[in-house]
Chain A
């Protein structure tokens, strides 16, 4: 690679910002299906009735009408198919959420030269939307996440019956996303007491020193880290926690201290703890069988920990190739 370093860096920065980890699918012959709709079969039925009429009355124009209806039907196969063919669906990423929550999936549809009309896109069980565009279009679709790890939504359907509703053409598209789905947060268990296990690191820690003063409703100037996320998850009200005194005593979070069995449950509990610690500005570290993260605080630390928890015990990459 003989690219000048400055160009390359600019190019990478721009790439990360503009098309974060996009993967794309172009709908071509092998990916598109097409069959007549009920309305299409009815249309053919009516053509047959008019044919009988034409035969019985020996009426050339009625014959012509029948043949026209059949021709229009054939033509609509092309037009319907053409509405989808060659279109590209690009995954532009999704919000990072906890498993079980709904994420907003950002998609971009690229037309590649044709006007696309009334294309329905989405997960049939979740959210679908219809759109028309001529060069490209961004969409955001809600999708419920099921398990932690790389976000792997099921195949979603791209569908169209335009222009005459006589045929339905569709494709099931699977896109790769880079976003991680964090484990579901389980906050039913109390934080482990730091003192009990503290001697391992030779550092005495005290828990429960912070003086939690209560909550008030969220102001836009409040730090996001002080938001009462738990309360938000329960009630949907965004409140800010007020502290009188922040004590930074380190906590190590370990799988075997969760008091539950099963990796998924344990990870859920730890995720819940991470969030609590993060809220309460308690420095926390992860002590997992594969990895160890030193105690720290801050948004970046939280995201790092959550990412590790999301991928804990999973093969390095279960979804398709990243571009």
Chain B
């Protein structure tokens, strides 16, 4: 088995990259780019594809290494693309594009091991940047696979043999990754988390579907096509009844005849403290409804500042404020998944009279247009004896008794110009929540009752076992609130009059006849709620995902402090934490040392036999030193205790013949029988 040595005294850094490694790196490139492909400009993706095809051609022996001028040209092209694709230039997305371009182009000049290592390291950066965009469970599992492939590639760089099976390489890399997990988990739990050190560009959420602070009929119809998650609310108290599940987000109190908008108090001449507060408000802000709900909301990033609350909020979560309109707003746009909790509030009854400026806002209507509606409003106001509640009831009754229809595909009202309310109330009579809420508020205002449209979500899917309500985009809804002297803001939902199913059973039930529920996304699992197996899988997965988000993804400074103090007890937490960290790392390292280093299983039966022999000799007081051959040991033993000599030398010569000789399998049983004599 003598191997002739090759005259290869080159330094390891200059060694060539094996074909297997190249293939692994190409696969890794495809895999790590997949989660962020939407953030990468098409031109950069084209450069990636070009690089991969070119590299594969080289691999197949049909291509040539691109000359320097071509590579420089590609680099310049990529950089120009990045420079023109991103405004502002310094953003997370542009960084990802640069990394992706770097990875691809480096493939084209990856000739030495060092180049290949650079590629692997860029791969890790790409993984790190893709988790900034999404941290779901599936994404995590996928990235773990990416890491395994990168590790396989890296491992292949140092392995010379090219004839190693893909599965065994992958298994080895996966095993390495799994072995690293215990320490990873310990570090994850115990290393003190630090807050942001400097401000960084956040993921661009502007293209996300979600509520806006403008309501033009049509927006909510768009939202209803999406089954994207909006937030999850976990209740410490009892769950609210279905008709109580109104999640407020925006208050739309300005109407220009076509669109409902949110007032910008910042621009009005109202003093800041008069419309915004950071303190929980018990009295004076017309919080009139008692709220016993104690819940925590984990919301997906929206890129918008508003937070969701069940009904009118009075409690103020951290880093946010309460506005006069009784909605919550975070101090900065929600660009990352955020968790906040809302405590129950019992308002004190106080004199209920809104300031004049707010009253004026909630009575505003455009000066022209919608004449028939104005007339109707005045008529109803007189019939109800100038009573706001009675007036509202009459409007609700009108929606119920007259032929109004609930549909997501109503006729367009754009041609109606400034009289869209008239067109809806008297002609088309088809629409969904925003049409009904808008018309209701308009009628109330025309009659002189302060009213406003509230946008948010209604309903949600209940998960009993977790005491959780999960709200998705198709739960988007709009309803109305009117001001009643002595009672404050009261909620009216005219949609409930037209389609009670929408409120009690959700959008799907409301659209049962129309068949338009999620009609644009045939693959959405939510379309298949009737299939019990599919639905069971979906529910189980969602539950897992929620737990993952809540426990792992949301594990920040504060959660760490809470978790560790429950684990280690109160007191000087940092000191205990450091101690726990050191002790557990030491323990783990020791354990892995024992498992990895001591567990050297003998490769062959003869070696196992020899170890048994060594043990028997050790019991008799003979220890073979590290630099003693088997034969020398046998001679020494024979000299020192001649009664053993025969057996020992017989065994040793038999063993040596087995190990070094040509006849492999003959003597092993004989050897065993000799060993038995000892």
User: Chain A: residues with CB nearer than 8 A to chain B?
Assistant: 1-3, 7-8, 10-11, 14-15, 18-19, 22-26, 28, 39, 42-43, 46, 49-50, 52-65, 67-72, 74-76, 78-79, 81-82, 85-86, 106, 111-114, 117-118, 120, 122, 124, 126-132, 134-142, 161-165, 323
B336 close to chain A: CB less than 8 A: yes
Contact yes or no, B632 A323, CB < 8 A:
yes
Instruction: Please indicate which of the listed interface residues A122, A130, A161 has the most CB atoms of chain B within 10 Å of its own CB.
Output: A130
B117 close to chain A: CB less than 8 A: yes
- In this complex, what residue of A is CB-closest to B630? A19
Partner of A165, one of B158, B181, B604, B661: B158
Partner of B600, one of A86, A127, A162: A86
Contact yes or no, B128 A55, CB < 8 A:
no
Q: CB-CB < 8 A to B601: which residues of A? A: 113
Q: CB-CB < 8 A to A1: which residues of B? A: 638-639, 642, 645
B166 close to chain A: CB less than 8 A: no
Q: A14-B653, A25-B627, A132-B161 are in contact. Are A58 and B5 (CB under 8 A)?
A: no
The 11 sampled A-B contact pairs (Cβ below 8 Å) are A1-B639, A3-B645, A23-B629, A57-B200, A61-B143, A65-B127, A67-B191, A82-B597, A86-B600, A117-B158, A164-B154
Q: CB-CB < 8 A to A79: which residues of B? A: 176, 596
B487 close to chain A: CB less than 8 A: no
Partner of B188, one of A57, A63, A82, A112: A63
Q: A15-B631, A68-B180 are in contact. Are A129 and B5 (CB under 8 A)?
A: yes
Question: A122 CA to B7 CA in the complex, in Å?
Answer: 11
Contact yes or no, B631 A135, CB < 8 A:
no
B236 close to chain A: CB less than 8 A: no
Question: A57 CA to B4 CA in the complex, in Å?
Answer: 55
The secondary structure that dominates the B interface is helix
- In this complex, what residue of B is CB-closest to A15? B631
B175 to nearest A CB, angstroms? 10
Over the window 88-120 of chain B, the binary record of Cβ atoms lying under 8 Å from chain A Cβ atoms (1 yes, 0 no) is 000000000000000000000000010001000
Contact yes or no, B121 A46, CB < 8 A:
yes
Q: CB-CB < 8 A to B76: which residues of A? A: none
Over the window 578-602 of chain B, the binary record of Cβ atoms lying under 8 Å from chain A Cβ atoms (1 yes, 0 no) is 0000000000010011001100111
B614 to nearest A CB, angstroms? 12
Q: A2-B645, A46-B121, A164-B158 are in contact. Are A138 and B3 (CB under 8 A)?
A: yes
A117 to nearest B CB, angstroms? 6
Contact yes or no, A127 B3, CB < 8 A:
no
B495 to nearest A CB, angstroms? 39
B191 to nearest A CB, angstroms? 7
Contact yes or no, B336 A57, CB < 8 A:
yes
Question: A18 CA to B660 CA in the complex, in Å?
Answer: 7
Contact yes or no, B646 A3, CB < 8 A:
yes
Contact yes or no, B187 A323, CB < 8 A:
no
Contact yes or no, B626 A64, CB < 8 A:
no
Q: CB-CB < 8 A to A81: which residues of B? A: 597
The secondary structure that dominates the A interface is mixed
B375 to nearest A CB, angstroms? 56
Contact yes or no, B2 A130, CB < 8 A:
no
Partner of A162, one of B158, B182, B596: B158
Partner of A58, one of B556, B603, B631: B556
B292 close to chain A: CB less than 8 A: no
Q: A1-B642, A11-B653, A161-B158 are in contact. Are A75 and B183 (CB under 8 A)?
A: yes
B547 close to chain A: CB less than 8 A: no
Question: A111 CA to B7 CA in the complex, in Å?
Answer: 24
Contact yes or no, B183 A74, CB < 8 A:
yes
Q: CB-CB < 8 A to B602: which residues of A? A: 112-113
B530 close to chain A: CB less than 8 A: no
Instruction: Please indicate which of the listed interface residues A10, A14, A161, A164 has the most CB atoms of chain B within 10 Å of its own CB.
Output: A164
Question: A114 CA to B125 CA in the complex, in Å?
Answer: 34
Question: A24 CA to B650 CA in the complex, in Å?
Answer: 22
Contact yes or no, B629 A323, CB < 8 A:
yes
Over the window 116-137 of chain B, the binary record of Cβ atoms lying under 8 Å from chain A Cβ atoms (1 yes, 0 no) is 0100010011011101100100
User: Chain B: residues with CB nearer than 8 A to chain A?
Assistant: 1-9, 12, 113, 117, 121, 124-125, 127-129, 131-132, 135, 140, 143, 147, 151, 154-155, 157-161, 172, 176-177, 179-184, 187-188, 191, 193-200, 202, 336, 552-556, 589, 592-593, 596-597, 600-604, 607, 626-629, 631-632, 638-639, 642, 645-646, 649-650, 653, 656-657, 659-661
Q: A52-B197, A56-B200, A60-B552 are in contact. Are A165 and B128 (CB under 8 A)?
A: no
A189 to nearest B CB, angstroms? 36
Contact yes or no, A23 B627, CB < 8 A:
yes
Q: CB-CB < 8 A to B4: which residues of A? A: 140
Contact yes or no, A61 B607, CB < 8 A:
no
B106 to nearest A CB, angstroms? 15
Question: A164 CA to B183 CA in the complex, in Å?
Answer: 18
- In this complex, what residue of B is CB-closest to A43? B121
Contact yes or no, A72 B151, CB < 8 A:
yes
Contact yes or no, B155 A67, CB < 8 A:
no
Q: A55-B197, A114-B603 are in contact. List 18 more A-B contacts (CB 8 A).
A: A23-B627, A46-B125, A53-B128, A57-B132, A58-B196, A59-B132, A60-B555, A61-B143, A65-B127, A65-B131, A68-B184, A69-B124, A70-B187, A72-B176, A72-B177, A75-B179, A118-B160, A164-B158
Q: A3-B645, A19-B629, A46-B121 are in contact. Are A135 and B195 (CB under 8 A)?
A: no
- In this complex, what residue of A is CB-closest to B4? A140
Q: CB-CB < 8 A to A22: which residues of B? A: 629
B332 to nearest A CB, angstroms? 13
Question: A58 CA to B645 CA in the complex, in Å?
Answer: 71
Q: CB-CB < 8 A to B554: which residues of A? A: 60
Q: CB-CB < 8 A to A3: which residues of B? A: 638, 645-646, 649
Q: CB-CB < 8 A to B589: which residues of A? A: 74
Question: A8 CA to B3 CA in the complex, in Å?
Answer: 32
Q: CB-CB < 8 A to B645: which residues of A? A: 1-3
Q: CB-CB < 8 A to A117: which residues of B? A: 158-159
A295 to nearest B CB, angstroms? 38
Contact yes or no, A24 B176, CB < 8 A:
no
- In this complex, what residue of B is CB-closest to A121? B5
A15 to nearest B CB, angstroms? 6
- In this complex, what residue of B is CB-closest to A67? B187
Contact yes or no, A132 B158, CB < 8 A:
no
Q: CB-CB < 8 A to B181: which residues of A? A: 68, 71
Q: CB-CB < 8 A to A23: which residues of B? A: 627, 629
Q: A18-B661, A46-B124 are in contact. Are A111 and B629 (CB under 8 A)?
A: no
Contact yes or no, A112 B193, CB < 8 A:
no
Contact yes or no, B3 A137, CB < 8 A:
yes
Question: A28 CA to B556 CA in the complex, in Å?
Answer: 44
Q: CB-CB < 8 A to B3: which residues of A? A: 129, 131, 137-140
Q: CB-CB < 8 A to B202: which residues of A? A: 57
Question: A74 CA to B199 CA in the complex, in Å?
Answer: 31
Contact yes or no, B188 A139, CB < 8 A:
no
A322 to nearest B CB, angstroms? 10
Partner of B159, one of A68, A75, A118: A118
Contact yes or no, A61 B627, CB < 8 A:
no
Contact yes or no, B656 A162, CB < 8 A:
no
Q: A55-B195, A69-B124 are in contact. Are A62 and B9 (CB under 8 A)?
A: no
Q: CB-CB < 8 A to A142: which residues of B? A: 5
Question: A130 CA to B530 CA in the complex, in Å?
Answer: 62
Question: A57 CA to B607 CA in the complex, in Å?
Answer: 55
Question: A130 CA to B5 CA in the complex, in Å?
Answer: 8
Question: A204 CA to B359 CA in the complex, in Å?
Answer: 143
Contact yes or no, A19 B656, CB < 8 A:
yes
- In this complex, what residue of B is CB-closest to A23? B627
Q: CB-CB < 8 A to A129: which residues of B? A: 3, 5-6, 8
A194 to nearest B CB, angstroms? 44
Contact yes or no, A50 B653, CB < 8 A:
no
Contact yes or no, B656 A18, CB < 8 A:
yes
- In this complex, what residue of A is CB-closest to B592? A78
Question: A296 CA to B656 CA in the complex, in Å?
Answer: 39
Q: Which 7 A-B pairs have the closest CB atoms?
A: A67-B187, A71-B183, A61-B131, A129-B5, A71-B180, A113-B600, A138-B2
Q: CB-CB < 8 A to A64: which residues of B? A: 184, 188, 552
